[in-house]
């Protein structure tokens, strides 16, 4: 995938397939990608992981949007939604995210570390070697720091890379009179601590009815940017407005986009902001997928992530979700793989992964097939059988 463009549509014949290929990795970094016969003379045979069965190798997968730092379940919400209640109604009645906040606040940091580790390990088995993880179920200085600490600790024990994001601006905490008051608290009390303790250099906000308005989010994001944070936005999930704001403030990505208008997609696609669509949230909420095809046709940068969280996206299976989205939105395999590798890396501002090329991390996943098309065709049922993280077999 090393010669594929960062933006726009891609056809499968643009994939550069190396038959009988090999990857030479030294100290965790790729040194060469070529045919096995050319590379094998450069290393001791005892250092070769020789694959007996037909294998398609891809860069380690990247999930650029998750909320896997949570405690408790929201099975009750799910049942309410399938019987007709909407996500926003549940939220406005003080349930939904607030229910998870209660459970997460009551959970110890150690317990959260265990939960994150467990979820990250499941992800690694499915080929995901880099995972963005948001806080956002704390909504107080103490609990947000606890969540970000838990993410930091889990990152030290799991072999995948966890990229932390502070989503203290998920919804206004109930202890405050209004959203503006709470955003001031996030800005003046929480973020300075996050920065001082070096817990995250990314900040997210949920721009939505029942969460934060475009106007309030705008001034918050401008000052967050001034503090030196990178920005990402929960945008256009139920109502339009967030993606336009994401472009205006220079966010790294605008995530969701289920409710984006054609004009929104056009504006976003002309920018360098990654359009990060979250099919798992559509599947969890029973709503249409984001217009991923349109993003590509208008020249945008498409990433696909799971949004793994207890409320809207409980499944958390990236490959299954990407495969389903590709069937519904008519995405080529090249577009789909790009969206969960190097284009997702762009959403996280990571320039060292997502492609198998010299200088990049030795993050590689192998699927048991000799035809790359099998992977999406099997809609997530074909799992990678071999995974290397930084060149080390997992
Ligand atoms: O991306 N929409 C806001 N945040 C999450 C859901 C969080 C939750 O419901 O617990 C999302 O869908
Ligand atoms: Fe989310």
Ligand nearest to the CA of 313: 1
Model confidence at 25, pLDDT cuts 50, 70, 90, reads very high
Q: Please tell me the distance from the alpha carbon of residue 161 to that of residue 152, in angstroms, as a whole number.
A: 10
Domains and CATH numbers, the chain: 15-58+355-393 (2.30.40), 61-347 (3.20.20.140)
Kindly give the distance from the C-alpha atom of residue 133 to the centroid of ligand 2, in angstroms, as a whole number.
10
- Give the pLDDT of residue 98: 98
DSSP labels, 281-338: HHHHHT-PPP-HHHHHHTT-EEEE---B-SSS-----HHHHHHHHHHHHT--HHHHHH
Please tell me the pTM assigned to this model.
0.98
Q: What does the pLDDT look like over 244-290, one tens digit per residue?
A: 999 999 999 999 999 999 999 999 999 999 999 999 999 999 999 99
**Residue of the nearest CA to atom 8 in ligand 1?**
311
- Give the pLDDT of residue 230: 98
Write down the residue that tokens 């003046």 correspond to: 188
Kindly give the distance from the C-alpha atom of residue 138 to the centroid of ligand 1, in angstroms, as a whole number.
14
Measured from the CA of 256, which atom of ligand 1 is nearest?
Answer: 1
237 ligand 1 Cβ < 6 A:
yes
Mutate which of 132, 210, 236, 312 for ligand 1? The one with the most ligand atoms within 8 Å of its CB, which is 312
Kindly give the distance from the C-alpha atom of residue 332 to the centroid of ligand 1, in angstroms, as a whole number.
28
Share of the chain above pLDDT 70, in %: 100
Q: What does the pLDDT look like over 205-220, one tens digit per residue?
A: 999 999 999 999 999 9
Kindly give the distance from the C-alpha atom of residue 194 to the centroid of ligand 1, in angstroms, as a whole number.
21
Model confidence at 348, pLDDT cuts 50, 70, 90, reads very high
Residue environment code for 65-78, b if the CB has 16+ CB neighbours within 10 A, otherwise e: bbbbbbbbebeebb
**Residue of the nearest CA to atom 3 in ligand 1?**
206
Q: What does the pLDDT look like over 30-68, one tens digit per residue?
A: 999 999 999 999 999 999 999 999 999 999 999 999 999
Model confidence at 193, pLDDT cuts 50, 70, 90, reads very high
- Give the pLDDT of residue 21: 96
281 ligand 1 Cβ < 6 A:
yes
- Give the pLDDT of residue 112: 99
Measured from the CA of 284, which atom of ligand 1 is nearest?
Answer: 12
Kindly give the distance from the C-alpha atom of residue 370 to the centroid of ligand 2, in angstroms, as a whole number.
35
**Residue of the nearest CA to atom 12 in ligand 1?**
312
Residue environment code for 245-258, b if the CB has 16+ CB neighbours within 10 A, otherwise e: bbbebebbbbbbbb
Residues 330-350 have a mean pLDDT of: 98
Measured from the CA of 167, which atom of ligand 1 is nearest?
Answer: 4
Which residue from 55, 56, 53 is spatially nearest to 12, judged by alpha carbons? 56
Model confidence at 194, pLDDT cuts 50, 70, 90, reads very high
Which residue from 326, 333, 378 is spatially nearest to 17, judged by alpha carbons? 333
Ligand nearest to the CA of 211: 1
Measured from the CA of 137, which atom of ligand 1 is nearest?
Answer: 10
Measured from the CA of 91, which atom of ligand 1 is nearest?
Answer: 9
312 ligand 1 Cβ < 6 A:
yes
- Give the pLDDT of residue 265: 98
**Residue of the nearest CA to atom 9 in ligand 1?**
311
Kindly give the distance from the C-alpha atom of residue 181 to the centroid of ligand 2, in angstroms, as a whole number.
23
E strand or H helix that includes residue 376: helix 373-377
**Residue of the nearest CA to atom 1 in ligand 1?**
307
305 ligand 1 Cβ < 6 A:
no
And the tokens for 4? Answer: 């594929």
Q: What does the pLDDT look like over 97-116, one tens digit per residue?
A: 999 999 999 999 999 999 99
212 ligand 1 Cβ < 6 A:
no
Answer whether 190's CB lies under 8 Å from 169's CB.
no
- Give the pLDDT of residue 189: 98
CA 75 to each of CA 71, 78, 117, 163, 309: distance values in angstroms, whole numbers, following the listed order: 13, 5, 22, 27, 12
Q: What does the pLDDT look like over 129-157, one tens digit per residue?
A: 999 999 999 999 999 999 999 999 999 99
- Give the pLDDT of residue 24: 98
Q: What does the pLDDT look like over 72-88, one tens digit per residue?
A: 999 999 999 999 999 99
Answer whether 243's CB lies under 8 Å from 236's CB.
yes
């Amino acid at each position: 995938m090393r010669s594929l463009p960062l933006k726009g549509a891609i056809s499968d014949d643009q994939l550069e397939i190396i038959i009988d290929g090999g990857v030479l990795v030294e100290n965790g970094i790729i040194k060469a990608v070529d045919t096995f016969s050319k590379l094998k003379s450069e290393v001791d045979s005892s250092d070769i992981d020789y694959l007996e069965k037909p294998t398609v190798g891809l860069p380690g997968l990247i999930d650029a949007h998750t909320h896997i730092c949570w405690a408790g379940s929201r099975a009750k919400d799910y049942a309410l939604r399938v019987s007709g209640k909407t996500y926003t109604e549940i939220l406005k009645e003080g349930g939904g995210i607030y229910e998870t906040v209660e459970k997460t606040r009551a959970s110890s940091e150690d317990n959260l570390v265990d939960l994150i580790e467990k979820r990250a390990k499941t992800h690694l088995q499915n080929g995901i070697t880099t995972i963005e993880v948001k806080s956002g179920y704390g909504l107080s200085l103490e609990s947000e720091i606890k969540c970000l600490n838990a993410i930091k600790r889990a990152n030290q024990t799991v072999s995948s890379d966890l990229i932390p994001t502070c989503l203290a601006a998920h919804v206004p905490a109930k202890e405050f009179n209004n959203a503006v008051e709470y955003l001031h608290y996030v800005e003046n009390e929480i973020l300075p601590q996050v920065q001082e303790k070096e817990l995250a250099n990314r900040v997210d906000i949920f721009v939505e009815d029942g969460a934060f308005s475009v106007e309030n989010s705008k001034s918050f994001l401008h000052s967050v940017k001034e503090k030196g944070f990178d920005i990402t936005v929960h945008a256009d999930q139920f109502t339009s407005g967030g993606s336009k704001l994401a472009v205006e403030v220079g966010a790294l990505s605008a995530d969701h986009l289920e409710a984006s208008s054609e004009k929104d997609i056009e504006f976003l696609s002309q920018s360098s902001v990654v359009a990060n669509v979250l099919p798992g949230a559509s599947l969890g909420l029973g709503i249409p997928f984001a217009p991923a095809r349109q993003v590509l046709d208008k020249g945008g940068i498409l990433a696909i992530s799971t949004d793994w969280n207890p409320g809207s996206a409980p499944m958390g299976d990236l490959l299954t979700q990407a495969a389903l989205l590709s069937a519904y939105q008519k995405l080529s395999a090249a577009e789909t793989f790009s969206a969960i590798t190097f284009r997702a890396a762009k959403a996280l501002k990571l320039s060292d992964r997502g492609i198998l090329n010299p200088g990049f991390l030795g993050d590689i996943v192998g699927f048991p097939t000799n035809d790359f098309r099998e992977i999406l065709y099997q809609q997530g049922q074909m799992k990678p059988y071999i995974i290397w993280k930084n060149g080390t077999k997992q």
